[in-house]
Protein backbone atom coordinates (compact mmCIF):
# COMPACT_ATOMS: atom_id res chain seq x y z
CA UNK A 1 0.00 0.00 0.00
CA UNK A 2 1.30 3.42 -0.94
CA UNK A 3 2.50 5.66 1.88
CA UNK A 4 0.95 8.65 0.14
CA UNK A 5 -1.85 10.53 1.88
CA UNK A 6 -5.30 9.08 1.19
CA UNK A 7 -7.53 11.78 -0.30
CA UNK A 8 -11.21 11.54 0.59
CA UNK A 9 -13.76 13.70 -1.18
CA UNK A 10 -17.30 14.70 -0.43
CA UNK A 11 -19.48 14.43 -3.56
CA UNK A 12 -22.23 17.08 -3.88
CA UNK A 13 -20.82 20.58 -3.97
CA UNK A 14 -17.25 19.28 -3.96
CA UNK A 15 -16.70 16.99 -6.94
CA UNK A 16 -19.95 17.74 -8.74
CA UNK A 17 -22.54 20.48 -9.03
CA UNK A 18 -25.63 18.33 -8.51
CA UNK A 19 -28.01 21.02 -7.25
CA UNK A 20 -30.03 21.34 -10.51
CA UNK A 21 -30.94 17.63 -10.59
CA UNK A 22 -31.62 17.47 -6.86
CA UNK A 23 -33.91 20.47 -7.20
CA UNK A 24 -35.74 19.05 -10.20
CA UNK A 25 -36.37 15.68 -8.54
CA UNK A 26 -37.53 17.24 -5.28
CA UNK A 27 -39.80 19.69 -7.08
CA UNK A 28 -41.40 16.86 -9.06
CA UNK A 29 -42.22 15.08 -5.80
CA UNK A 30 -43.60 18.29 -4.30
CA UNK A 31 -45.69 18.97 -7.41
CA UNK A 32 -47.19 15.50 -7.22
CA UNK A 33 -48.43 16.43 -3.73
CA UNK A 34 -49.80 19.77 -4.92
CA UNK A 35 -47.02 21.78 -3.30
CA UNK A 36 -45.18 24.74 -4.88
CA UNK A 37 -41.69 24.40 -6.32
CA UNK A 38 -38.63 25.40 -4.32
CA UNK A 39 -36.11 27.89 -5.66
CA UNK A 40 -32.50 27.00 -6.42
CA UNK A 41 -31.40 29.36 -3.65
CA UNK A 42 -33.63 27.65 -1.09
CA UNK A 43 -32.34 24.23 -2.07
CA UNK A 44 -28.67 25.03 -1.56
CA UNK A 45 -29.12 25.43 2.19
CA UNK A 46 -30.86 22.04 2.37
CA UNK A 47 -28.03 19.99 0.84
CA UNK A 48 -25.40 18.17 2.89
CA UNK A 49 -27.14 15.82 5.29
CA UNK A 50 -28.37 13.17 2.89
CA UNK A 51 -31.54 12.46 0.91
CA UNK A 52 -33.84 11.94 3.90
CA UNK A 53 -32.94 15.32 5.40
CA UNK A 54 -33.26 17.00 2.00
CA UNK A 55 -36.79 15.69 1.46
CA UNK A 56 -37.79 16.51 5.04
CA UNK A 57 -36.52 20.07 4.64
CA UNK A 58 -38.26 20.46 1.29
CA UNK A 59 -41.62 19.51 2.79
CA UNK A 60 -40.99 21.51 5.97
CA UNK A 61 -40.49 24.62 3.81
CA UNK A 62 -44.20 24.27 3.00
CA UNK A 63 -45.22 23.44 6.55
CA UNK A 64 -45.60 19.75 5.73
CA UNK A 65 -44.06 16.62 7.23
CA UNK A 66 -42.46 14.24 4.72
CA UNK A 67 -43.55 10.61 4.77
CA UNK A 68 -41.48 7.51 3.91
CA UNK A 69 -43.24 7.31 0.53
CA UNK A 70 -42.06 10.85 -0.27
CA UNK A 71 -38.45 9.82 0.28
CA UNK A 72 -38.94 6.63 -1.74
CA UNK A 73 -40.44 8.57 -4.64
CA UNK A 74 -37.65 11.13 -4.52
CA UNK A 75 -34.94 8.47 -4.59
CA UNK A 76 -36.58 6.62 -7.48
CA UNK A 77 -36.92 9.84 -9.47
CA UNK A 78 -33.45 11.09 -8.65
CA UNK A 79 -31.69 7.83 -9.52
CA UNK A 80 -33.36 7.97 -12.95
CA UNK A 81 -32.41 11.61 -13.51
CA UNK A 82 -29.22 12.12 -11.51
CA UNK A 83 -27.03 13.37 -14.35
CA UNK A 84 -29.37 15.39 -16.57
CA UNK A 85 -27.77 18.70 -15.56
CA UNK A 86 -25.18 17.58 -13.02
CA UNK A 87 -21.60 18.38 -14.02
CA UNK A 88 -18.09 17.85 -12.67
CA UNK A 89 -16.59 21.08 -11.37
CA UNK A 90 -14.03 22.80 -13.65
CA UNK A 91 -10.52 21.44 -13.32
CA UNK A 92 -11.59 18.53 -11.12
CA UNK A 93 -10.80 15.74 -13.59
CA UNK A 94 -7.33 17.14 -14.12
CA UNK A 95 -6.76 17.40 -10.35
CA UNK A 96 -7.94 13.82 -9.83
CA UNK A 97 -5.67 12.57 -12.61
CA UNK A 98 -2.72 14.38 -11.07
CA UNK A 99 -3.44 13.03 -7.59
CA UNK A 100 -3.92 9.46 -8.77
CA UNK A 101 -0.84 9.70 -10.98
CA UNK A 102 1.18 10.81 -7.95
CA UNK A 103 0.17 7.67 -6.07
CA UNK A 104 -2.54 9.02 -3.80
CA UNK A 105 -5.39 6.70 -2.87
CA UNK A 106 -8.73 8.38 -3.64
CA UNK A 107 -12.10 7.75 -2.03
CA UNK A 108 -15.50 9.32 -1.51
CA UNK A 109 -17.38 9.80 1.75
CA UNK A 110 -20.81 11.27 1.09
CA UNK A 111 -24.12 11.45 2.93
CA UNK A 112 -25.83 10.74 -0.40
CA UNK A 113 -27.16 7.15 -0.64
CA UNK A 114 -24.50 4.88 -2.11
CA UNK A 115 -26.65 3.67 -5.02
CA UNK A 116 -27.31 7.19 -6.28
CA UNK A 117 -23.68 8.15 -5.80
CA UNK A 118 -22.50 5.10 -7.74
CA UNK A 119 -24.82 5.92 -10.64
CA UNK A 120 -23.43 9.43 -10.85
CA UNK A 121 -19.80 8.29 -10.73
CA UNK A 122 -20.49 5.80 -13.52
CA UNK A 123 -22.36 8.21 -15.78
CA UNK A 124 -19.89 11.07 -15.31
CA UNK A 125 -16.93 8.73 -15.87
CA UNK A 126 -15.50 9.39 -12.41
CA UNK A 127 -15.68 5.81 -11.15
CA UNK A 128 -12.15 4.84 -12.28
CA UNK A 129 -10.66 7.41 -9.90
CA UNK A 130 -12.40 6.06 -6.81
CA UNK A 131 -11.90 2.47 -5.64
CA UNK A 132 -13.72 3.36 -2.41
CA UNK A 133 -17.21 4.85 -2.10
CA UNK A 134 -18.78 5.22 1.34
CA UNK A 135 -22.36 6.48 1.05
CA UNK A 136 -24.79 7.75 3.62
CA UNK A 137 -26.23 4.26 4.00
CA UNK A 138 -22.93 2.35 3.82
CA UNK A 139 -22.35 2.49 7.60
CA UNK A 140 -24.58 3.15 10.63
CA UNK A 141 -23.07 6.64 10.76
CA UNK A 142 -23.13 9.77 8.63
CA UNK A 143 -21.02 12.91 8.60
CA UNK A 144 -20.44 14.86 10.80
CA UNK A 145 -19.94 11.62 12.77
CA UNK A 146 -16.22 10.88 12.34
CA UNK A 147 -16.95 7.15 12.26
CA UNK A 148 -18.46 7.63 8.80
CA UNK A 149 -15.23 9.14 7.54
CA UNK A 150 -13.24 6.49 9.41
CA UNK A 151 -14.94 3.86 7.24
CA UNK A 152 -13.45 5.47 4.15
CA UNK A 153 -10.00 5.78 5.72
CA UNK A 154 -9.99 2.11 6.68
CA UNK A 155 -11.25 1.04 3.25
CA UNK A 156 -8.36 2.95 1.66
CA UNK A 157 -5.84 1.09 3.79
CA UNK A 158 -5.47 3.42 6.76
CA UNK A 159 -2.62 5.80 7.41
CA UNK A 160 -2.45 9.49 6.63
CA UNK A 161 -5.60 11.00 5.09
CA UNK A 162 -7.22 14.32 4.24
CA UNK A 163 -10.91 15.24 3.84
CA UNK A 164 -12.08 17.60 1.11
CA UNK A 165 -15.59 19.01 1.27
CA UNK A 166 -17.85 22.04 1.02
CA UNK A 167 -19.86 21.57 4.21
CA UNK A 168 -19.28 21.89 7.94
CA UNK A 169 -20.18 18.20 8.23
CA UNK A 170 -17.04 17.34 6.24
CA UNK A 171 -14.79 19.56 8.32
CA UNK A 172 -16.28 18.29 11.60
CA UNK A 173 -15.80 14.66 10.61
CA UNK A 174 -12.14 15.36 9.83
CA UNK A 175 -11.64 17.19 13.13
CA UNK A 176 -13.18 14.25 14.94
CA UNK A 177 -10.49 11.97 13.52
CA UNK A 178 -7.69 14.49 13.94
CA UNK A 179 -7.26 14.73 10.16
CA UNK A 180 -6.50 17.82 8.08
CA UNK A 181 -9.35 19.14 5.95
CA UNK A 182 -9.67 21.25 2.81
CA UNK A 183 -12.75 23.44 2.40
CA UNK A 184 -14.01 23.64 -1.20
CA UNK A 185 -15.19 27.23 -1.40
CA UNK A 186 -17.03 26.70 -4.71
CA UNK A 187 -19.65 24.46 -3.10
CA UNK A 188 -22.92 24.88 -1.25
CA UNK A 189 -21.89 25.46 2.35
CA UNK A 190 -19.81 27.59 4.68
CA UNK A 191 -17.15 26.06 6.90
CA UNK A 192 -13.67 26.45 8.32
CA UNK A 193 -11.16 23.79 7.31
CA UNK A 194 -7.43 23.43 7.82
CA UNK A 195 -7.10 24.87 4.31
CA UNK A 196 -9.50 26.58 1.89
CA UNK A 197 -9.32 26.44 -1.90
CA UNK A 198 -11.21 28.28 -4.59
CA UNK A 199 -10.38 26.02 -7.52
CA UNK A 200 -9.70 22.33 -8.03
CA UNK A 201 -6.30 23.19 -9.51
CA UNK A 202 -5.09 24.16 -6.03
CA UNK A 203 -5.67 20.71 -4.54
CA UNK A 204 -2.62 18.74 -5.76
CA UNK A 205 -0.17 21.34 -4.46
CA UNK A 206 -1.72 21.50 -0.99
CA UNK A 207 -2.01 17.73 -0.71
CA UNK A 208 1.60 17.26 -1.81
CA UNK A 209 2.65 19.33 1.19
CA UNK A 210 0.76 17.29 3.78
> Residue 20: which H helix or E strand, with range?
helix 19-32
Q: Which of 10, 17, 70, 77 is catalytic?
A: 10
Same domain, 93 and 154: yes
Residue 1's pLDDT band, with cuts at 50, 70 and 90, is very low
Q: How many other C-beta atoms lie within 10 A of the C-beta of residue 102?
A: 14
Q: Are residues 180 and 126 in the same domain?
A: yes
Residue 150 lies in a domain: yes
Annotated catalytic residue 137: no
Residue 149 located in a structural domain? yes
Confidence of residue 164 (pLDDT cuts 50, 70, 90): very high
Mean pLDDT along residues 31-56: 96
74 and 23 share a domain? Answer: yes
Same domain for 196 and 151? yes
109 plus 183 within the same structural domain: yes
Other CB atoms closer than 10 Å to residue 180's CB: what's the count? 18
Backbone angles phi, psi at 125, to 5 degrees: 60, 40
Q: Which domain holds residue 25?
A: 19-80
Interval 116-125 mean pLDDT: 97
Express each pLDDT in 58-105 by its tens digit: 999 999 999 999 999 999 999 999 999 999 999 999 999 999 999 999
Distance CA 208, CA 32 (A): 49
pLDDT at 161: 98
Mean pLDDT throughout 11-19?
Answer: 97
Q: Is there a single domain that holds both residue 63 and residue 92?
A: no
Are 17 and 116 in contact by the 8 Å Cβ rule? The answer is: no
Instruction: State the Cα torsion 99-175-51-187 to the nearest 10°.
Output: -60
CATH code for position 76: 1.10.150.240
pLDDT value at 54 more than 70: yes
Binning pLDDT at 50, 70 and 90, where does residue 117 land?
very high
CATH number where 122 lies: 3.40.50.1000
Q: Any alpha helices (H) in 124-189, and if so which ranges?
A: 146-155, 168-177
Residue 1 lies in a domain: no
| 2 pLDDT above the threshold of 90 | no
**Same-domain status, 184 and 163:** yes
Is residue 162 domain-shared with residue 101, that is, in the same domain?
yes
Amino acid sequence: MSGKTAVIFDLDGTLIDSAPDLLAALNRVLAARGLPALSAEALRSMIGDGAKALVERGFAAHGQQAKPVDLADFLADYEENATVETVVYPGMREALSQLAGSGHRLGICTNKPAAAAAIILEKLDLKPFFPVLIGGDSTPFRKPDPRHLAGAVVALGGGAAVMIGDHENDMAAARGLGLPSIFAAWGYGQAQGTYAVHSAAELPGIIAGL
